[in-house]
Structures are given as structure tokens and as C-alpha cells.
């Protein structure tokens, strides 16, 4: 619902931008802002009031204030779009080998520096039964029992990361399952050697991400907040 509203806000922002580009002195800004205000009215009160304010100032002060006010309104709209976008979430875990090798900070910093947002984190020693639930899709594989023994052998750093495309791109940051095949530059490529000790887990799809986040975290452990960097990480030109 909110994403639809902001998608239409986004379209209007683009219309505003292209209209303003076609008129170097923003001479048509007033008409464009008025049109946008009309199309938002009743849907996005905050956005409509920004446009209306810009419009009424233009009416009294002419194109000079239009040149100042319209771009400000445009950038405010873009900010709102970035904050309101529905963001994907993925479950990432540093397995006992990554924790014991002191790689927590290294791994977290790769997700952080990319621009993703940490929304949940905790250090836990899962039981073998819990590990079996987590890896239930691998129960027919010969390494299943050993894998679950290993995951439950010590502290695991469980996390939820949020951001556009974070499920798929998180897997790219992690690298191929077998570190012998992971590209240099990936977490497993740079920091692990064998498949049995590949230091990190990441959800492999939307459904898996939902299931794994639900398995490892209570809804109250997921923290919703606005990160100040978001307006610099996201934006449309
Ligand atoms: P993924 O972790 O890249 O998603 P999966 O195929 O889901 O890879 O396997 C889960 C985990 O099981 C791997 O991360 C690895 O720790 C372990 N694993 C996968 N294949 C093998 C194997 O052939 N031998 C031993 N362990 C394996
Ligand atoms: Mg997997």
C-alpha cells in the first residue's frame, strides 16, 4: 500500500524533474507543481502540502522562487521515497568457525560498507534439534548430521540485514558454497578454504529468508529504524 503511494510519488517526481529540465529557468515549475499537488491530494498529504507550498510561493514570487522551491520539493520527495521503500530482509549467520576465528567484525563490515542495514543481531549456541530445523532441506544429504553437529558446537552470530536486493546480493558477497570455487573478493573466497568450514550462512531466496528470520528471531527482536545514511545509499537521478 505505502509502496504504491510512493511509487506514484516517484513518478510525479520524475515528471517534475523532466519538466524542470526542459525549462532551464524552471519557468513552468508552478504549473508542474500544481499538477503534482492535484494528483497527490488526498493520497499523500505530506507530499501534497510540499507541492502546494511550492506552488503558492511561486504564485506570489514568480519564477525566481520557483527555481529555489521546486528543486527543494523534488529532493524532499526523493528522500521520502528512499525511506518509505519496502526493503527486503535476509538471514545471515556467522557459523562457529567464523566466530572462533575472530571474523565477526570483518564480515559485518562488508555488509555495512555495502550499504545494507543491520536490523537484528544475537550470539547463540543452537541445539542440534534447532540446527536440524535450520538445515531441514538438507536432511537427505550424507553430511547432514555432521553439519548440524558443527552448527550446534559453539556460538553462532545470527543477524538480519535489510536493503534493496539484499537476499541475492548477500549471497554474492558470501560467495560460492565451496570456498575452493568462491571468487576472490567474496567472504568465503577471501576467508575460508573448505566447504565444511565455510564460516557463513545466507538465505538463498525470499521464502527461505522469511522462514529463517522467523526461526531465529522473535518479531520483537527486529528493530525498525531510519538509518541516516539511507538518503545517501538510495536515490534516483
Ligand atoms: P550454502 O551455505 O551456500 O547455502 P548449502 O548447499 O545450502 O550451501 O549447504 C549448507 C551448508 O552445508 C554449506 O554452507 C556447508 O557448510 C555444508 N555443505 C554443503 N555441501 C557440503 C558438502 O559437500 N560437504 C560438507 N558440507 C557441505
Ligand atoms: Mg543454503
Compute the average pLDDT of residues 85-101: 94
pLDDT digits (tens, 9 = 90+) for 22-74: 443 333 333 333 333 333 333 333 333 333 333 333 333 333 344 444 454 45
CA 203 to ligand 2 centroid distance, Å: 6
Nearest CA to ligand 1 atom 9: 177
pLDDT bracket for residue 86 (50, 70, 90): confident
Q: Which three cell numbers stand for residue 35?
A: 499538477
Cβ < 6 Å from ligand 1: which residues? Answer: 138, 143, 147, 177, 195-196, 198, 201, 204
Q: Which pLDDT does position 78 carry in this prediction?
A: 52
* Average pLDDT of span 118-124: 98
Distance CA 89, CA 168 (A): 10
The protein residue with its alpha carbon nearest to ligand 1, atom 8, reads 177
Residue 89 belongs to what H/E stretch? strand 89-94
Using DSSP, state whether 117 is helix, strand or coil: strand
- Tell me which residue has cell 539511507: 230
- Can you tell me whether residue 202 is helix, strand or coil? strand
Q: What is the reported pTM?
A: 0.71
What average pLDDT is seen over the chain? 77
DSSP 8-state symbol, 153: S
Q: Is 207 exposed, middle or buried (0-12, 13-18, 19+ CB in 10 A)?
A: exposed
Atom of ligand 1 minimally distant from the CA of 198: 16
CB contact set of 146 (below 8 Å; sequence gap of 6+): 196
What pLDDT, in 10s, does the model give residues 151-182? 999 999 999 999 999 999 999 999 999 999 99
Amino acid at each position: 500500500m505505502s509502496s504504491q503511494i510512493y511509487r506514484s510519488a516517484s513518478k510525479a517526481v520524475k515528471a517534475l524533474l523532466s519538466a524542470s529540465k526542459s525549462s532551464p529557468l524552471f519557468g513552468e515549475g508552478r504549473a508542474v507543481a500544481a499538477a503534482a499537488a492535484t494528483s497527490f491530494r488526498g493520497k499523500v498529504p505530506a507530499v501534497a502540502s510540499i507541492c502546494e507550498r511550492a506552488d503558492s510561493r511561486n504564485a506570489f514570487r514568480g519564477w525566481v522562487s520557483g527555481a529555489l522551491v521546486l528543486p527543494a520539493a523534488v529532493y524532499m520527495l526523493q528522500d521520502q521515497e528512499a525511506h518509505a521503500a519496502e526493503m527486503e530482509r535476509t538471514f545471515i549467520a556467522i557459523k562457529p568457525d567464523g566466530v572462533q576465528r575472530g571474523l565477526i567484525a570483518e564480515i559485518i563490515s562488508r555488509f555495512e560498507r555495502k550499504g545494507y542495514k543491520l536490523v537484528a543481531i544475537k550470539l547463540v549456541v543452537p541445539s542440534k534439534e534447532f540446527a536440524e530445523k535450520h538445515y531441514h532441506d538438507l536432511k537427505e544429504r550424507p553430511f547432514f548430521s555432521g553439519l548440524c553437529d558443527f552448527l550446534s558446537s559453539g556460538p553462532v552470530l545470527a543477524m538480519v540485514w535489510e536493503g534493496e536486493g539484499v537476499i541475492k546480493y548477500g549471497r554474492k558477497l558470501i560467495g560460492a558454497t565451496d570456498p575452493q570455487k568462491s571468487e576472490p573478493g567474496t567472504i568465503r573466497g577471501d576467508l575460508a578454504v573448505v566447504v565444511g568450514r565455510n564460516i557463513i550462512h545466507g538465505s538463498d531466496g525470499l521464502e527461505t529468508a522469511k522462514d529463517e528470520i522467523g526461526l531465529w528471531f522473535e518479531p520483537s527482536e527486529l528493530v525498525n529504524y531510519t538509518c541516516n545514511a539511507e538518503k545517501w545509499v538510495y536515490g534516483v537521478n
